[in-house]
Amino acid sequence: MNVDPHYDLLIVGGGITGAAVLHAASRRGLKALLVDRSDFAGGTSSWSSKLIHGGMRYLKSGQWRMTLESVRERERLLRERPGLVEPQPFVMPIHEGTRPGRLALGVAFWIADRMAGHATARRIAPAEALALEPALGRDRLRAAIAFRDGVVDDARLVLRLIFDAVERGTRALNHVEASLIERAGRVTGARLEDRLDGTRADVTATVTVHAAGVWAGAAPGAPTLRPLRGSHLVFARETVPLRSGLAWLHPRDRRPVFAHVWEGAVLVGTTDIDHPVAEVPATISPAEAEYLVEALRLPFPQLRLDAAQALSAFAGLRAIVVPPGEAHLPPSSMGRDSALWTRPGLVGITGGKLTTHRATAAEVLREVERQGVRMAPEPVPSLVQVATRLQGRLGIAGAAWVAARPVEEQAPLAGTPYSLAELRWSMRKEQVRRLDDLLLRRTRLGLVAARGGESLLPLLEGPCREDLGWRGPRWADEAARYRAQWAARHAPPAHSIRP
């Protein structure tokens, strides 16, 4: 394992928070190392709802600060990450007899727009709603609200933050487990172990940031956490014929649900239920699948949808901090604020939202600075006015490399937005160490291609052997492991129960 003996900052956890802290540290001139026991974005940060949203739902529970921070960070990300964080139009249908009605929803959107600083929502008539989303059911449709949020490939956002930081001189290692070392009451660093090749190394750090999300309970001084599971279904657009996005309230419990176009498919979510043991992998249950299909029947009564028609399913765990006296609250009533705690040599951070990662990282670095780490002033961000999809996801160098590949390598794979050239860039430059790193995070072929992209595996064998050195039995082992993992965690339920 090639690491230096000492760093200004050691970051444990390569999800959105750890990646944001590494990115911010690189801009402040710190010598930093990030490690993750699985892959970058391998936990919660690759299984979100893929939305950079304003958090309007938090107004109902009085979380005004969370909504304010969310809408402002959403607008900032839309400006600073073009090609990766993109505007996403939505229609919210309002049906006869449903609550909240047009007035209450209009007030909520008006408040959120005032927080954002400009209008993103407007009330529209049923005819315009149907023109925007022709598959929307007409029965009992009385009005609608058209609004704009943001959509993102969450894993790609994490990767861009990490690899941008690496280009500035920081280090990042995946599949490396860290065990904190404490001496005389101070955290001084960690013992690192590569989980794939078994190599070990001890590193010291002036400050260690523990950013392991829902698994933060292992850190000294961590708060009480309540893991909540959010599950999703992914459909082909031929099955759920959306043009952009819909948001509505579930007919059973009035929770917000949505369906939106993402990476060439349609993503439907989400649930919000307890998942008591964080170490148990999160997978969608048949009851959750039925809940989502039941939700879809309200805006699409003419479609005979079933969970078995989905391309894939996925579930992620949210790290919900439990304030005193609130453990009994329903899952959807729990706050989404982050929690920060400190010990000598340690800053712990958990909770929070994908949208607000930059603000969370700034809070962490302020505490790091209080613990004696000197850093350069925050530089003024340079805005990118226009960026292509590939530039947003792979960076300027990656997009140029892909554009220079043979034409046949740039063709879309299996009706998805991805090409063999993109995969080969990732194999060569983005620390791919397992096949699921490539198919579930560097790209999302495992979610948007039929059966996880199984038909593409023969095409990938040669490049993986050449670019990753997977010779001998390694390729067969990786392919078998990926098939088993996809079947266990991402295959859609066999059926849902029809009413």
- Spatial contact of 364 and 370, defined as CB atoms under 8 Å apart: no
DSSP character for 385? S
- Spatial contact of 139 and 115, defined as CB atoms under 8 Å apart: no
- What pLDDT is attached to residue 101? 64
Give the CATH architecture of domain 227-320: 2-Layer Sandwich (3.30)
Range with lowest mean pLDDT among 50-64, 287-301, 316-330 = 50-64
Mean pLDDT of the 127-148 span: 91
Beta bridge partners of 36: 174
- Does the domain spanning 390-489 belong to CATH 1.10.8? yes
Q: Say whether pLDDT at 156 is over 50.
A: yes
Domain 6-45+155-224+333-370: give its CATH superfamily.
FAD/NAD(P)-binding domain (3.50.50.60)
- What pLDDT is attached to residue 321? 84
- What pLDDT is attached to residue 113? 75
Domains of the chain, by residue range, sit at 6-45+155-224+333-370, 227-320, 390-489
What backbone torsions phi and psi does residue 185 show, to the nearest 5 degrees? 80, 10
Give the whole-angstrom CA distance, residue 214 versus residue 224. Answer: 10
Give the whole-angstrom CA distance, residue 10 versus residue 33. Answer: 5
- What pLDDT is attached to residue 69? 84
Mean pLDDT of the 177-195 span: 97
Give the whole-angstrom CA distance, residue 283 versus residue 402. Answer: 34
Helices (H), 31-173: 64-80, 102-116, 126-132, 154-167
- What pLDDT is attached to residue 112? 74
Taking phi over 0 as left and psi of -120 to 50 as alpha, with beta for the rest, 133 belongs to beta
Find tokens 């670019």 and name the residue.
Answer: 467
pLDDT confidence bin for 499, thresholds 50/70/90: very low
> In the Cβ-directed half-sphere of 165, how many Cα atoms lie within 13 Å?
29
Neighbour tally for 183: CB within 10 Å = 10
